[in-house]
Structure 1
Amino acid sequence: MPQYLAFLRAINLGAKRKFPKADIVAATEAAGMTDVETHINTGNVFFTSTLRSPAKVRAALEKAYATDRGFDVPAIVFTPEEIRAITERGTQLRAVNEDGARHYVQLFHEPPPQGAVAAAQALGLPGEELVVEGRAAYALMPEVAGSRLTNSKEYAALGQGTARTITVLQAIVEKWC
């Protein structure tokens, strides 16, 4: 049976968007998924499904999550192989930039538009680097809070996604991939 990972966007960030792990598991099972597990409380979900299309998996999850929560919960779906490749690339980039930089990976439903990628990469901000490959954008910066890159309109134009640290992705790969 196909295995998938879903990365949920914009949950557990405030009082109105709570989605506890036990409820994520129950809603994921209600969507027809099996062998459901979560990792930390930021919406990282592993499961198996009889569905063979990530788009169908996403639609089923988002419908079940909205029904359960009463608000939209975008789910960005990958196969374990895709997440392993994204994490390996992120680990390579981190090895080249071991100067204490923070390293986040923004995950997207679709690859960002090339024009938006070019504009964001053209910012050339000192100490901040952006590499976009496929459905992942790797952002390396000294501090997240003061990042001119991730707070720019050019970065926002990459599209709606959800970010994870490379450390979290490495733990997920070790656990599920």
Structure 2
Amino acid sequence: MKIYIALLRGINVSGQKKIKMIDLKAMLEGLRLTSVTTYIQSGNIVFKSEKKDTQILSDLIKNGISTRFGFDVPVLVLTPEILTNIYEENPFSDGLLSGEIEDKKMYFTLLSNPPDANAVAELMAKDFKEERFEITSKVVYFYAANGYGKTKLTNNFFEKKLKCDATTRNCKTVIKLLELSKLT
């Protein structure tokens, strides 16, 4: 059995696509996923599976949600190793350590596939004042200087500009998912 982390996009946000975590956990266990743990209400899951392919697991969960709850939700499945690498490669980590950057304003927009190179170049050439970000093939590291609630650089913004599905998590959630994946 291998440990995985699933990130669901857009559930339980503003009363949309409501899923109770107890129901989600039961549905996932019905798909033969084991040691299922959810974290907060926004679609963060740690689980074990005998399956080795993250895309197969992503499709399995997506189809299960569609069948059980009646709506489509983008699902990104990662290994703890990949999420650890993403966390450790954060170009803003020095700022986090020094206190220059508040961890509550640090976000990880995880991408479903590598973004369009021209779109990345175009976005990186623009000035967004005090908001800073770096884009890789797997993630947008984003520091929302004025807080995520006030930024125009939202998950939808990055999806539209980079032409790929994405889901955003704050630094605290990424750390907690990594901790949970070690306990599973």
Task: Tell me whether the two structures share a fold, i.e. TM-score over 0.5.
Answer: yes
Distance 1:49 1:140, change over 3 A: same
1:155 shift after superposition: 6.0
Distance 1:95 1:20, change over 3 A: farther
**Greater relative contact order (Cα < 8 A, sep 6+):** 2
What is the RMSD of the two structures over their aligned residues, measured on CA atoms? 2.0
Question: For this pair of structures, how many residues does the alignment match?
Answer: 176
| Contact 1:37 1:46 (C-alpha < 8 Å) held by counterparts | yes
Specify the alignment match of 2:175 in structure 1.
Answer: 170
Q: How far apart in 2 are the matches of 1:6 and 1:113?
A: 24
| Contact 2:46 2:180 (C-alpha < 8 Å) held by counterparts | no
Percent identical among aligned pairs is 27
Secondary structure class of the residue paired with 2:89: helix
1:49-128 paired onto structure 2 within 5 Å: 49-90=49-90, 93-96=92-95, 98-101=99-102, 102-128=105-131
Q: How far apart in 2 are the matches of 1:36 and 1:151?
A: 26
Specify the alignment match of 1:34 in structure 2.
Answer: 34
Cα shift readout 1:95-128 (whole Å, capped 9, x = no counterpart):
3264345111111211222122212211121111
Question: Which protein has the bigger helix share?
Answer: 2
Question: Which runs of no fewer than 5 residues in structure 1 stay unpaired?
Answer: none
Cα shift readout 1:2-24 (whole Å, capped 9, x = no counterpart):
21100000000133411111111
TM-score scaled by length of structure 2:
0.86
TM-score scaled by length of structure 1:
0.89
| Contact 1:77 1:109 (C-alpha < 8 Å) held by counterparts | no
Cα shift readout 1:46-87 (whole Å, capped 9, x = no counterpart):
111121111111111100011111000111110010011112
